[in-house]
Chain A
Amino acid sequence: MSVTRRDFLIGSAALAAGATVTTPFLLPKFHSDQRPNRSRVAILHARQYSNHLDQILAAGLRLFPINVRGKTVVLKPNLVDYIPSNAINTHPLLVLAAVESFRRLGAKSVLVAEGPGHQRDTQLVLSQSGYEQYLRDEKIRFVDLNRDQLIRTPLRASYTGMKDLWLPRTMLEADFLVSMPKIKTHHWSGVTLSLKNMFGIVPGARYGWPKNILHWKGIQESILDLCATVPIHFVIADGIVAMEGNGPLNGKPRPLGTIVLADDPAAADATCARLMGFEPSRIVHIREGSRFLGNASPGLVDQAGEILTAPTSPFQVVPEFQHLHAFRSAHRLTGGETQISRWKW
């Protein structure tokens, strides 16, 4: 078979056109790979919210080679709204324990920062959820991220197609950012853990309440762009009383008796998902985040503290997220809980 010059030119043009169309889909959408070689996660047992949480947390933090001496530590809890008896927000006693722990570790300053996504009156959320009193008594500075000074910030990933976002100065200037999510299900994103918790840094004054533009650009995509741009250095996840069902606001409290610490947000969220009875790789932002934000594979995570166990019954979710449930491959152990190794992930 002979190839004429005309055939060659047509073939080359077709190849070039194909490459032009497909290359954007093949290229990574993140600017840099932030994954550490190995990650560390610790699961701490805490039956209830009490004044002893600082001791539990201090012991847990000693499992990590953290150096915050002379640094500005920003704690970002999950404070969305307040509904009596609903486990919506990161509990203030856990945040207080974290403040005390980082102060003892020599941090220059420890502040709490959040931009509630649903309620415009931040002070009302602080007051109703019990934060106001603790912040005042312990002289802890709080920054309302919905109204903080803003800096136009180029995004370091391109999942949403947005080039930049106006983000709060406090978050951009933090030396050590700690994401402190409530372990919850979420009716739009499946779960809301340390990565999704970063929606709270997007300023309501600029993007509205809720931050609706992120919903339209894609929740999973927005999580990835945000977390690529403002890296999380540490995670303290509140699973003492978590939430299942129609989260993030109207789900049911689900006692889990657990605090999850991690030096890697993807590892933290994958671990939390397993604790909820979910398969992490079925959660889009965890799966995609494990390509560049951190390690979700158990083989790359050093586990400390309690043994990772899945619940007897997985967390309830809205029908659209039933596929998140991990399925059992072996018999259940006696004693109410099943060791994670006996689940098929």
Chain B
Amino acid sequence: MTTDPIVLSDLLAELALRQLPCGGWAALASSSQPAIEPTCYSALALDSAPVGDIARAQDFLLRTQNPNGSWPVFPGDDQEGGWITSLVVMALRDLVPAIPARLQGFHWLLNCAGKEANWFWKWKFRTDDRHVRFDPDKYGWPWFPDTVSWVVPTAFSILALNQIPCSCGGLEQIPFRVNRGIEMLMDRVCPGGGWNAGNGVVYGAALAPHADDTAIALLALRDRAEDPVVQSSVGYLERTAPALTAPCSLAWAILALAAHRRAIASLRTSLIARPDLSSIEDTSTLALACLALDYRRTLSAFGVTV
């Protein structure tokens, strides 16, 4: 019988094998182009593992920071930065030499907002462009600057900013931005619970929630567990997760349901029962499977208290 620790150690070994000489990981096993997102998940997964060169991974992340404090999607990318900044500041959370870089990252996150935060677009969404149902006063973070807020980047930014112990030294806006982000998530929930990519209703039609988007939003809303919106969304995820056939969504569901103190034993069994887990082409998914199997440590890394 295969147990969680055996599977986890096999997956971590595979993950370590995929580390590139530069210290980062590529998005796909067949690629040699290092990317920041898989590197963050891999660094989090290998944090306390005896395999992989975590120091080299952290050094890679520090080296790739943009001059404006953000992080690019991959080395060589344009330098305006993007949502991935929130994930990097969490991946570097325990590294003392990374404190200045993280602070720059937090400042960048605070200055980054969905386009609807601007008065002109707010006015346009209120008066003219009304096919998507949402309250433009409630904004969060975009995937990339100059676009509107979306669920996943907003949830990751909330998780990241919640890791700052105090809002001082130019970071006084953190509570305001975090609250705005939470309001945005609450506003854009799908009818019946759960989250789609960005909005719940478009052209009068209710959008179906996505399991992974919902799970990531629920991690960011752990402190609002009693809110009816959160409870209905947890309910959606509980109903949906057992039928999830893809390890990425399943891993996120395990993390979110564990954060909300729901039963996850059967989901973990489903995850480790997948015969092709270690040969998954997508490296982020491989790392996420590791993070889900080691969920207590992962939730701690995301600053989510259970």
Contact = CB atoms under 8 A, between A and B. Distances in A.
Interface residues of A, number: 34
A118 B199 CA distance: 12
Contacts of B210: 81, 119-121
A148 interface: yes
B264 interface: no
A8 B46 CA distance: 76
A147 interface: yes
Given A120-B212, A212-B148, A216-B147, A250 B207 contact: yes
A205 B35 CA distance: 9
Interface string A117-130: 01111111011100
Contacts of B212: 120-121, 124
A208 B147 contact: yes
A215 B153 CA distance: 18
Interface residues of B, number: 47
Given A120-B212, A205-B27, A250 B203 contact: yes
A246 B205 contact: yes
B282 A212 contact: no
A114 interface: no
B20 interface: no
B31 A148 contact: yes
Interface in A126-146: 126-128, 132, 144
B143 A149 contact: no
Contact of B31 (A119, A149, A249): A149
Interface in A193-233: 205-210, 212-213, 215-216
Contacts of A81: 208, 210
Contacts of B207: 249-250
A205 B36 CA distance: 10
B249 A121 contact: yes
Given A123-B247, A124-B245, A212 B203 contact: no
A318 B197 CA distance: 22
Given A205-B27, A208-B83, A124 B249 contact: yes
Nearest to B205: A250
B197 A150 contact: no
B245 A120 contact: no
A144 B142 CA distance: 22
B208 A83 contact: yes
Contact of A149 (B32, B142, B246): B32
A123 B73 CA distance: 21
A345 interface: no
Contacts of A208: 82-83, 142-144, 147, 150, 153
Given A144-B282, A187-B131, A209-B143, A166 B148 contact: no
In this complex, which of B144, B147, B205 has the most chain A Cβ atoms within 10 angstroms of its Cβ? B147
Nearest to B38: A147
A118 B209 CA distance: 11
Contacts of A122: 282
Main DSSP-derived SS at the B contact region: loop
Given A124-B248, A127-B246, A187-B203, A118 B197 contact: yes
Contacts of B26: 149
Nearest to A152: B76
Contacts of A144: 28, 281-282
Contacts of A132: 245
B224 to A, nearest CB: 23
Contact of A212 (B33, B77, B143, B284): B143
B213 interface: yes
B217 to A, nearest CB: 13
Nearest to A117: B197
Contacts of B211: 121, 124
Contacts of B35: 147, 205
A127 B73 contact: no
Contacts of B245: 124, 127-128, 132
B10 interface: no
In this complex, which of B31, B143, B204 has the most chain A Cβ atoms within 10 angstroms of its Cβ? B143
Interface string B244-272: 11111100000000000000000000000
A128 B285 CA distance: 17
Interface in A90-131: 118-124, 126-128
A212 B32 contact: no
Interface string B195-225: 0111000111101101111000000000000
A253 B197 CA distance: 23
Nearest to B276: A136
Given A127-B245, A187-B202, A209-B197, A147 B150 contact: no
Contacts of A205: 27, 35, 37, 73
B268 to A, nearest CB: 18
Contacts of A148: 27-28, 31
B227 interface: no
B213 to A, nearest CB: 7
B144 A147 contact: no
B135 interface: no
Pairs of residues from A and B, 9 with the lowest C-beta to C-beta distance, nearest first: A208-B143, A124-B246, A147-B27, A250-B205, A212-B147, A123-B246, A127-B245, A149-B33, A149-B31
6 contacts: A81-B208, A81-B210, A124-B249, A209-B152, A216-B115, A246-B204
Interface of B: 26-28, 31-33, 35, 37, 73-74, 77, 82-83, 115, 131, 142-144, 146-148, 150, 152-153, 196-198, 202-205, 207-208, 210-213, 244-249, 281-282, 284-285
Given A149-B33, A209-B152, A212-B144, 10 more contacts: A118-B196, A120-B212, A124-B212, A127-B246, A149-B32, A208-B153, A210-B198, A212-B142, A213-B147, A216-B115
